[in-house]
Amino acid sequence: MFRPLTLAATALLASSIAVARYTEEDEYEGLLQKRAPITPVMSGQNFPDPALIRMADGWHAFATNTLINGSWVHVPMAKSPDFQTWTYLTGVDAMPTLAAWVDLNSPRVWAPDVVQLSDGSFIMYYTAAYKEATNLHCVSYATSKTLLGPYVDSLKEPWICPTAIGGAIDPSGYTNDDGTRWVIYKIDGNAVGHGGSCGNTVDPIVSTPIMLQQVNAADGYSKIGEPIQLITNGPADGPVVEAPSLSYLGGKYVLFFSSNCFATTLYDVSYATASHIKGPYTKYGPLFVTGTDGMTSPGGLDIAVNGNHAIWHGSVNHSSSLHECIARHHEHGKGHGADECNRAGSTGRAAYTAILSLTGNVVTASTLS
């Protein structure tokens, strides 16, 4: 389980950006940089699990399904000409029609990530609930000729779905400098955990590894070889590691991820570094924690492919009732329950932005929103 920080350390973290390294004893060592509080973009509009893509007309972002005026938008979108002023595209859904394999009664469309292919078309990797096992989620892809969609997934069965070990969530695309294309994702082991925070703090703790899958560079989905495990949850991570995003910064591959339960104030943004895309990766961080720049439960960071512009979310109007609601969903075999619990608790997750850099093995953030 997660070992609580000392009172002194907690006080420091509450007003700082943490750039420390995980040690085997699950304490943090390193340097803490104080910064002023920041405010989310789009006036705090609910925009969870955001993902970035840069085009000629500026920046575009996609997010987890959101309830707008009583109706669910499967894949919300936002745009910015300069990475500073963001506009939420009200009423626009990048994927209005769902695939045949999705549970239409509770689709739970999460964490979309869009990349452009060499022919100019676009592929969206995303997560949704599996109709054959509605407590589990699977990863799939949808394609579109244009950035704004509509994206269509014509598969009868999900693309990646290891149901025996919990399914899969949080896909993110990456193109290496050598032209190879990859997708990273999380094995959702806590979906079949034994209870507790996010379903996975009661022994035996279930592994939630981050996997790397090479895909055909041209089509973005034909798998090449078997997936490779990059990291998994350890004692310092609580129930999960999740929300992976890969970039190349400062001469190293940097794998950003979140650990601990997103429904609690322990959720964070951490990272691991490696000299080779396949690893081995060494965990560092956390980069952002509750209290950093006034944020609560920061997580789900996405960074532009081989760039330094990043976007992530933090909870607004956070309530302990959200954690309790999700725990009940796990106990009754209903999966994470994030959509239903967020709706009941009027809890949202707003987006923040920053420019990141790596020196040695230390990530720092500047030009925060």
The C-alpha atoms of residue 76 and residue 51 are separated, in whole angstroms, by 11
User: What's the pLDDT score for residue 182?
Assistant: 98
Rama region for 334: left / alpha / beta (φ>0; ψ in -120 to 50; rest) = alpha
pLDDT band, very low/low/confident/very high, at 341 (cuts 50, 70, 90): low
The C-alpha atoms of residue 189 and residue 203 are separated, in whole angstroms, by 13
Mean pLDDT, residues 60-85: 94
Residue bearing the bigger pLDDT, 202 or 316: 202
Digit-coded pLDDT (tens) for 36-62: 778 999 999 999 999 999 999 999 999
Q: Is the pLDDT of residue 258 over 80?
A: yes
User: What's the pLDDT score for residue 368?
Assistant: 85
* DSSP string computed for 318-344: --HHHHHHHHHHHHTT----HHHHHHH
User: SS3 of 42, please?
Assistant: helix
Give the chain's mean pLDDT. 87
pLDDT band, very low/low/confident/very high, at 243 (cuts 50, 70, 90): very high
Q: Is the pLDDT of residue 31 over 60?
A: no
pTM for the complete prediction?
A: 0.88
Kindly state the percentage of the chain with pLDDT values over 90. 77
User: Which CATH architecture is the domain 37-366 placed in?
Assistant: 5 Propeller (2.115)
Using an 8 Å Cβ cutoff, are 246 and 254 in contact?
Answer: yes
Question: Angle at Cα 43 formed by Cα 40 and Cα 44, nearest 5°?
Answer: 55
CA-nearest of 207, 136, 211 to 167 is 136
Mean pLDDT, residues 167-189: 97
Mean pLDDT, residues 212-225: 98
Mean pLDDT, residues 63-86: 94
Residue bearing the bigger pLDDT, 186 or 7: 186
Kindly state the percentage of the chain with pLDDT values over 70. 82
- How far CA 44 is from CA of 51, 248, 318, 338, 356, in Å, comes to 16, 29, 13, 19, 22
User: What's the pLDDT score for residue 339?
Assistant: 53
Residue type, 265: T
Mean pLDDT, residues 106-116: 97
The C-alpha atoms of residue 96 and residue 94 are separated, in whole angstroms, by 6
Q: In 196-205, which positions are buried (b, 16+ CB within 10 angstroms) versus exposed (e)?
A: bbbbbbeeeb
pLDDT band, very low/low/confident/very high, at 338 (cuts 50, 70, 90): low
